[in-house]
């Protein structure tokens, strides 16, 4: 039996019955439980079903997006950056979050703390947070970009212009003293600008590998930024260049 056939059968079985357990599937398909587990893992990663202990349930409402970049080795650093950034958020604040792995991590940290309002254009953050009634969540609409899980475009910017954010956290792909903050996509950059315009305080989240890089689309000059939260991989020269633009640097 081909692997593709098997996974298709598993999926059919799960969606039909609403759930299935590992042993029954193994027997049904004539393979070992280890194989079933691997298949379920794979289907779960693709968001096609939801894995539970002992089996799986229908994935019709699976909110866990596989963030492809999430399992990178910088994960621990991003978490530390998020924990440092969280200290910039006062109780009851309205917080803006753009898309990105680091901002997603910050969203999780804030969700555990609770007591804030989060405004975001990132679908994965929205999916993460919507199950938490203890935080207020506002999602900025727009056209979906599958590459970054973000909602962008004029609608998003119009909607953002109607809100006031106490602090906006921006994830960037590149950051230099000369070119300022840059990202890979122009629409994204434009929507990020709308976040900055609506916010009293602008904070950039970027691990140290981004510093010194210039990517395609410009978001803003460094002088528009109040704080940069990063890890401790910055060289002295890099830090000096950034602080020279009036940006406060926070090391996680």
Q: Which residues bind DNA (CB under 7 A)?
A: 3, 6, 21-23, 30-35, 37-38, 41, 51-55
153 Cβ contact list (under 8 Å, min separation 6): 142, 143, 187, 191
Kindly tell me which of 6 and 74 has the beta carbon lying closer to DNA: 6
Kindly tell me which of 68 and 248 has the beta carbon lying closer to a second copy: 68
Kindly identify the residues of this chain, within the stretch 85-124, that bind a second copy according to CB under 8 A. 101, 104-105, 108, 123-124
Contact between 71 and a second copy per CB under 8 A? yes
Instruction: State which of residues 30, 61, 178, 232 lies at the interface with a second copy (CB under 8 A).
Output: 61
Q: Shortest gap between Cβ of 209 and a second copy (angstroms)?
A: 16
Identify any residues that bridge with 250 across adjacent strands, giving them in sequence order: 229
Q: Whole-angstrom Cα distance, residue 141 to residue 35?
A: 41
Residue 146, burial from CB neighbour count under 10 angstroms (0-12, 13-18, 19+): exposed
Contact between 72 and a second copy per CB under 8 A? yes
From the list DNA, a second copy, none, pick the one residue 241 interacts with, judged by a Cβ distance below 5 to 8 Å according to partner type. Answer: none
Contact between 12 and a second copy per CB under 8 A? no
Residue entry with tokens 């194989």:
35
Instruction: State which of residues 29, 116, 159, 219 lies at the interface with a second copy (CB under 8 A).
Output: 159
Phi, psi torsion values for 109, nearest 5 degrees? -60, -45
Q: Shortest gap between Cβ of 177 and a second copy (angstroms)?
A: 30
CA torsion through residues 48, 52, 58, 62, sign: negative
Q: Return the H-helix or E-strand segment holding 102.
A: helix 101-113
Burial 154-173 (b: 16+ CB within 10 A, else e): eebbebbeebebbbbbbbbb
Q: Whole-angstrom Cα distance, residue 244 to residue 79?
A: 27
Kindly tell me which of 42 and 186 has the beta carbon lying closer to DNA: 42
Q: Both tokens of residue 87?
A: 């200290």
Kindly tell me which of 67 and 93 has the beta carbon lying closer to DNA: 67
Q: Shortest gap between Cβ of 245 and a second copy (angstroms)?
A: 30
Binding site for a second copy (CB under 8 A): 2-5, 15-16, 18-19, 21, 47, 50, 52-55, 57-58, 60-63, 65-68, 70-73, 75-76, 79, 101, 104-105, 108, 123-124, 126-133, 136-144, 146, 149, 151, 155-156, 159, 162
């Amino acid at each position: 039996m081909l692997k593709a056939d098997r996974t298709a059968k598993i999926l059919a079985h799960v969606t039909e019955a609403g759930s299935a357990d590992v042993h029954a599937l193994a027997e049904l398909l004539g393979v070992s439980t280890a194989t079933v587990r691997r298949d379920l893992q794979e289907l779960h990663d693709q968001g096609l079903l939801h894995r539970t202990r002992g089996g799986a349930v229908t994935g019709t409402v699976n909110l866990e997006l596989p963030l492809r970049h999430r399992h990178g080795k910088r994960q621990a650093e991003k978490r530390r950056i998020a924990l440092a950034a969280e200290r910039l958020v006062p109780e009851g604040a309205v917080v803006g979050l753009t898309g990105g792995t680091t901002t997603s991590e910050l969203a999780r940290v804030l969700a555990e703390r609770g007591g804030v309002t989060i405004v975001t254009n990132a679908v994965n953050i929205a999916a993460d947070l919507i199950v938490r009634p203890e935080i207020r969540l506002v999602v900025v609409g727009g056209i979906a970009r599958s590459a970054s899980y973000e909602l962008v475009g004029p609608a998003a910017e119009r909607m953002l212009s109607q809100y006031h954010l106490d602090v906006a956290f921006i994830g960037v792909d590149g950051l230099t003293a000369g070119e300022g903050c840059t990202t890979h996509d122009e629409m994204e950059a434009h929507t990020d600008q709308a976040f900055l315009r609506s916010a009293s305080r602008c904070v950039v989240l970027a691990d140290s590998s981004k510093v010194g890089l210039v990517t395609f689309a410009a978001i803003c000059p460094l002088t528009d930024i109040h704080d940069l939260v990063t890890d401790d991989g910055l060289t002295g020269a890099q830090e000096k260049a950034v602080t020279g633009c009036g940006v406060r640097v926070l090391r996680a």
